Amino acid sequence: MTGETQNTAWPLPKFHFSVTGMPGNPVFQEVSGLETEAQVIEYRAGSSGIFAPIKMPGLAKVGNITLKKGIFVTDQQLWTWFKSITMNSVARSTIVVKLLDETGKPQYTWQLNNAFPIKLSGTDMKSDGNEIAVESLEIAFETMSMSVGG
């Protein structure tokens, strides 16, 4: 069985991805929150004999994404981008997240439009810990599109 070609399609691993569209194009170790949902509109006509309301899809709603990366001594790109937020003026970006296959070819692509940082969290610190320092960045965006392939 070793060395044989398998004909079964396997799910994509989630550890090979890329994130672009931010100042300096930092490399992240984790992306979470790629989600969208439709708000529900409930409607019941006054003359309806039905006691339960009719449910219909309403406006689309997107959440925020959270990106995590290691902290490096001279790296202040995320902090600089976060500090650029001022009242009614923010540098918005188009952020692209790609899930890659084993050859590095994009298989799924999420495009986050009009994105900007809303929260930057430093690392937690423990004197008895043995982990690297990790910062996280929360990003809000207006619309999301998803496509198969690059």
DSSP state of 79: H
Give the separation between CA 146 and CA 144, rounded to whole angstroms.
Answer: 7
Considering only CA atoms, which of 39, 87, 36 is closest in space to residue 64? 36
User: Over the chain, what is the mean pLDDT?
Assistant: 87
Q: What is the pLDDT of residues 91-112, one digit of tens each?
A: 889 999 999 988 889 999 999 9
Find the DSSP H helices in the chain.
Answer: 77-83
Predicted TM-score (pTM) of the model is: 0.81
Q: What is the pLDDT of residues 120-148, one digit of tens each?
A: 998 888 888 888 989 999 999 999 999 99
Is 2's pLDDT higher than 80? no
Considering only CA atoms, which of 66, 79, 68 is closest in space to residue 24? 79
For the chain, which domains are there?
17-148 (2.30.110)
pLDDT of residue 86: 74
Q: Answer for the pair 105, 35: CB distance below 8 angstroms, yes or no.
A: no
